[in-house]
Chains A and B, each alone.
Chain A
Amino acid sequence: MEILPILAAAGVVEGLTETASSIKGQFGLQSQLFISQAIGFLIFAGVLYRFAFKPIQSMLDERRNRIIEGEEKLKHIEKQLAESEANTAAAIAKANSEAVRLIDEAKTGAAAFTEQKAQEAIASAQLILTKAEAAAKADRNRLEVELKREFGRLVAQTTTQVTGKILNADDQKRINEDALARVEA
């Protein structure tokens, strides 16, 4: 607190005041000019910020964000691509094994089917053969019966014509059986 009187006594304060006054006059320092220049610069800074810095900074931020988003998307896409490739490879492998299995099954199925159809064909042929044999046997039997009847009728007719005797049923039966026995022998 005692320093100011000491400085005043030494003429320091007066000297400083005089120097300040001298500088002020020599360099043309004036409060009105100082304030005008300060306001002028602040207006310049404000307008520059409004019309240059702010839109440019916003654009730079937007661009930076887009780049970051792009990078993230790229990573995501790469990840998705890797997953997709893995899925595709797995799907192809699965499809291959499935195809092999189906082919094997088809081969097995085809062999069984072929065997089944062959058996069916054999059975069918056997059936047809049996039926044909039965039919042939039935035809022979029928022909045999008809032949016997015709033979008997012819024997009886011939006997009647040769002997002139009218044969009764027992005679016809006996002659027929005798004739047949001779033919069959």
Chain B
Amino acid sequence: MRFILTTLAFSSIGLVSAFGAGDGGHHGLPMAAPVVFDLGWFKITNSMIAMCAVAAVVIFFAQLATRKVALIPSGLQNFIEYIVESLQSFLAGIMGEELARKTFWFFGSVFLFILTMNWMGLIPGVGTIGWHTTDSHGHAGWLPLIRGANADLNMTLALACIFFVLWIVWSVRANGVGGFLSHIFLYHGEDKGIMKFLLLIIFFLVGILEVISIMIRPVSLTFRLFGNVYAGESLLEMMVYMGGAFGWLTALPFFFLELMVGAIQALVFTLLTAVFTALMCRHDEEEHAH
């Protein structure tokens, strides 16, 4: 029942949001997040404003929930505990209990961050509250005050790069530098003779491909998240525009789709990063366990 009410509430919010965007006319979502405040050496984009606002709200609720942590949970503490425990057990299933616990600060944060940022983009006012601008060529434009943070490539690239650095740190810490390189390039089988020699060459060549694959990971993580979120926001805006006076109706199915996509993308990013980490670090944990 609660889920249905929540879904209805979100859908009504989305309708208003979509309708608001329709009022502003079709202005198209730029790929680059526009700079809202330019302080010369420091620029603030509308996606940064969104990030700060959502981060503040999430942290406020987190602090509120854990202000008086009780042994017998109730209310908001119960809800936060449910999220933390579910997420931790989900990650423990992929990475093992110990590794999940050590790295939970990142994976928990990144999941909640992406999820809240994605859903925040569906709240009325995001992308619709702003002002009209005119560029140097005299073209009229629209500058929204807030934009979904993950619809900014700087944000998704930052997330991917932070993970990449952490992944290297965790991998080296778990395997050592030699173990890290050995894990990528060396053959660890029991074969001997010519077979071993051949496999060593093959594994070394595969290691080179693996390095390329590792280097590609941040790029794929970045563009996957950005592409999905940006496409979703563009799609909603396009549907409202195409629907004209009934833009809210044409956007309605896609709004539900975006609710789902927002959650799925948060899960996909967290899942992939967790799997990448587990591939490099988990075997070490299992050996320690033995």
* A contact set with B: CB distance below 8 Å: 26-30, 32-38, 40-49, 51-53, 55-60, 62-63, 66
Of B30, B84, B158, the residue contacting A60 (CB under 8 A) is B84
Q: A27-B31, A33-B48, A59-B69 are in contact. Are A48 and B62 (CB under 8 A)?
A: yes
Give the distance in Å from the alpha carbon of A32 to the alpha carbon of B44 in the complex.
10
| A28 and B109 contact, Cβ closer than 8 Å, known pairs A40-B55, A59-B71, A63-B71 | no
Contact B32 A28 (CB under 8 A): yes
Collect the chain B residues with CB atoms within 8 Å of residue A35's CB: 158
Would you list the 3 A-B pairs with minimal beta carbon distance, nearest first? A28-B32, A52-B62, A45-B109
Per the CB 8 Å criterion, the residue count for chain B at the interface is 48
- In chain B between 212 and 246, which residues have their CB closer than 8 angstroms to a CB of chain A? 226
A53 to B113, CA, bound (A): 14
Once the chains are docked, how many angstroms separate the CA of A34 from the CA of B47?
A: 11
Q: A40-B52, A41-B110 are in contact. List 16 more A-B contacts (CB 8 A).
A: A26-B32, A28-B152, A28-B154, A32-B43, A37-B48, A37-B154, A41-B155, A41-B162, A48-B58, A49-B109, A51-B59, A56-B77, A58-B69, A59-B69, A59-B73, A60-B85
Give Cα A16 to B59, complex, Å. Answer: 41
Is B48 touching A48 in the complex (CB atoms < 8 A)? Answer: no
The one of A29, A44, A49, A55 that contacts B154, using a Cβ cutoff of 8 Å: A29
Residues of A contacting B105 in the complex (Cβ-Cβ under 8 angstroms): 45-46, 48-49, 53
Q: Which residues of B contact A28 (CB under 8 A)?
A: 30-33, 45, 152-154
Residue of A nearest to B63 (CB): A51
Evaluate whether A45 and B62 lie within 8 angstroms (CB atoms) in the complex, with A30-B154, A33-B43, A63-B71 already known. Answer: no
Q: Which B residues are CB-close (under 8 A) to A46?
A: 105
Kindly report which residue of chain B lies nearest to residue A60, judged by CB atoms: B85
- B170 in the interface, Cβ–Cβ < 8 Å? no
A48 with B158: CB separation less than 8 A: no
Task: Kindly report which residue of chain A lies nearest to residue B105, judged by CB atoms.
Answer: A49
- How distant is A53 from chain B, measured CB to nearest CB, in Å? 6
A43 to chain B, nearest CB (A): 8
Judge if B207 is at the interface, Cβ distance under 8 Å: no
The answer to whether A27 and B81 touch across the interface, beta carbons within 8 angstroms, is no
Count of chain A to chain B residue pairs whose CB atoms are closer than 8 Å in the complex: 125
Asked whether A44 lies within 8 Å of B59 as measured between CB atoms, the reply is yes
Q: How far is the CA of A150 from the CA of B5 in the complex (A)?
A: 142
Whole-angstrom distance from the CB of B110 to the nearest CB of chain A? 7
Whether a CB of chain A sits under 8 angstroms from the CB of B80 is: yes
In the complex, which of the residues A32, A49, A56 contacts B69, with contact meaning CB atoms closer than 8 Å?
A56
| Chain B nearest Cβ from A16, distance in angstroms | 13
- Indicate whether A37 sits within 8 Å of B66 (C-beta atoms), given known contacts A32-B42, A44-B113, A53-B105: no
CA distance A41 to B166 in the complex (A): 14
Q: Is B106 an interface position by the 8 A CB rule?
A: yes
Partner of A41, one of B65, B69, B158: B158
Q: Which residues of B contact A29 (CB under 8 A)?
A: 153-154, 157
Which of B30, B88, B104, B105 counts the most A-chain CB atoms under 10 A from its CB? B105
CB contacts (< 8 Å) of A48 on chain B: these are 58-59, 62, 105, 108-109, 112
Complex alpha-carbon distance, A81 and B71, angstroms? 29
Known A28-B33, A33-B43, A41-B162; contact A52-B69, beta-carbon cutoff 8 A: no
